[in-house]
Amino acid sequence: MAGITVSHFEGCAAPLPLARELGETSLMFLVHPTLTEAEMALTCRVLEAVMGEAGLG
């Protein structure tokens, strides 16, 4: 639906300011007991590369 902006879900109150800020600034990572050390290391390398490209690393 290109060009459509929804500020909140129909019938729901607008998000609280702190909830909005957390949603816009938080990072999420895959967490599971079956992840190998190699998979976690790859995640770290990719994150370092992305943060470097963004000027944050």
Digit-by-digit pLDDT tens for the chain (57 residues) are: 556 555 555 667 776 889 889 989 998 999 999 999 999 999 999 999 999 999 986
Model-level pTM? 0.58
By the 8 A CB rule, do 15 and 8 touch? yes
Task: Tally the C-alpha atoms within 13 A of residue 7's C-alpha that lie toward its C-beta.
Answer: 4
Determine which helix (DSSP H) or strand (DSSP E) holds 17, and give its type and residue range. helix 17-25
Q: Say which residues have a Cβ less than 8 Å from residue 7's Cβ, sequence separation at least 6.
A: 14
Whole-angstrom distance between the N-terminal and C-terminal Cα of the chain? 35
